[in-house]
Amino acid sequence: MEKETLTQEVINVLKTIYDPEIPVDIYELGLIYQIDVQEDFAVTISMTLTSPSCPVAETLPPEVEDKIKGIEQVTDCKVVITWDPPWDKTMMSEAAQLELGFL
């Protein structure tokens, strides 16, 4: 499998993970800043949360790691939480903004 193909598979899995307070997946919400697939198919994901006091701050990153590790070709997954840049609603996809009534 090529890195580009695996990256798309990672995105597909990320689109199955939802913020429990918002009916939009974390990828469309713009919470995923970077997906880095290494040559050995280890994956590092840089992401943020909607706020530092987000109620899923303790559970969402491990859920992301577990689901990405569930992809057959992935050898490991590490989630790095960052607050820079801070998340805001302009980071959402157009589909997410439409779903939440911002468009």
41-76 pLDDT, tens digit per residue, is 999 999 999 888 888 888 999 999 999 999 999 999
pLDDT of residue 55: 82
Q: Are strands 42-47 and 76-81 parallel, antiparallel or unpaired?
A: parallel
CB atoms within 10 A of CB 91: 17
Backbone angles phi, psi at 90, to 5 degrees: -70, -15
Backbone angles phi, psi at 27, to 5 degrees: -70, -50
Using CA atoms, how far apart are residues 103 and 98, in angstroms rounded to an integer?
5
pLDDT band at 21 (very low <50, low <70, confident <90, very high): confident
pLDDT band at 103 (very low <50, low <70, confident <90, very high): confident
Using CA atoms, how far apart are residues 47 and 67, in angstroms rounded to an integer?
15
* 67 in Cβ contact with 79 (< 8 Å): no
Average pLDDT, the chain: 93
Say which amino acid occupies 37: V
36: its two tokens: 């880095």
> Which domains, from first to last, does the chain contain?
3-87 (3.30.300.130)
